[in-house]
Amino acid sequence: MDKRIAIVTGGVAGIGRAITLALAEEGYLVVACDVNAERGQALAAERPGQVAFQRCNVAEESDVQRVVRETYATYERIDALVNNAGIIRRRTSEEIKTADWDAVFAVNVRGAFLFCKHVADVMKRQRRGKIVNVSSIAGKLGDITSAPGYGPSKAALDALTKTFAREMAPYGVIVNGVAPHAIATEMSAEWSEEKRKSIVEAIPLKRLGKPEEVAAVVRFLLSPGADFITGEIIDVNGGFLMD
């Protein structure tokens, strides 16, 4: 098959949907994986031949193995993986239930690990492939929106990105991350108006980011122009953190 194949997790809403559409526009056949089957099927129906949908909970290894196995069996290649699926549980450390803290790690870290592990197997054999993990500014700063599992999970994801980047480099497989902040999606729609205002006020560019602006950076990291970048986590934050 001539078409390049990308797997995008959480690929049917918010940032993930924007990534799916950007890669489809780039000429990829995108396998969008998500727990939301209704949205997934609607997106695949909107983009026949460009987007295929797989129902998948990234925290379940059997789901991840099935997606990777079926994708490879169907298309005989996997060129790109974007680990975008992520959840947040907004509670103070005092209030958060241990099960909720665990759930955040299960999706944000274990999910990305499982997809990296099983896709890397294919990419190692191909001796080529690119992975992008969608992290967050909270991985660098600790969480700033009262979600005590979220920041630590994204810090772990950043360490996972660097670990896989080193491990996969000898096989020609490139692994990077993006660290967005304050992007207008359903996740950020949970903020109160007051909180949204104070977040925007602290951003030098004085606005929220758009999902398409994260997708553009992912698209760049998957392009040949980024062939000498690996283990990097690129900020997409309107200048809020300049490191």
Ligand X SMILES: NC(=O)c1ccc[n+]([C@@H]2O[C@H](COP(=O)([O-])OP(=O)(O)OC[C@H]3O[C@@H](n4cnc5c(N)ncnc54)[C@H](O)[C@@H]3O)[C@@H](O)[C@H]2O)c1
Nearer to ligand X, 124 or 199 (CB): 199
Candidate ranges 13-21, 91-99, 191-199, 225-233; the one touching ligand X (CB under 6 A)? 13-21
Nearer to ligand X, 34 or 79 (CB): 34
The radius of gyration of the chain from alpha carbons, rounded to an integer in Å, stands at 17
Site membership for ligand X, residue 34 (CB under 6 A): yes
Residue linked to tokens 């480099």: 169
Ramachandran region, residue 110 (left: φ > 0; alpha: ψ -120 to 50; beta: rest): alpha
Residue type, 70: E
Would you say 157 and 213 are in contact if contact means Cβ atoms under 8 Å apart?
Answer: no
Is 28 annotated in the active site?
no
Site membership for ligand X, residue 185 (CB under 6 A): yes
Contact map string, positions 57 to 96, toward ligand X, x by CB under 6 A: xxx------------------------xxxx---------
Site membership for ligand X, residue 146 (CB under 6 A): no
Shortest Å, Cβ 33 to ligand X: 6
Catalytic residue among 72, 75, 150, 171: 150
On the 0-12 / 13-18 / 19+ scale of CB atoms within 10 A, 9 is buried
Site membership for ligand X, residue 183 (CB under 6 A): yes
Site membership for ligand X, residue 134 (CB under 6 A): yes
Nearer to ligand X, 9 or 176 (CB): 9
Would you say 95 and 117 are in contact if contact means Cβ atoms under 8 Å apart?
Answer: no
Size of the site for ligand X (CB under 6 A): 31
What is the contact surface with ligand X in residues (CB under 6 A)? 9-10, 12-16, 33-36, 56-59, 84-87, 107, 111, 134, 136, 180-183, 185-188
* Active site residues per annotation: 150
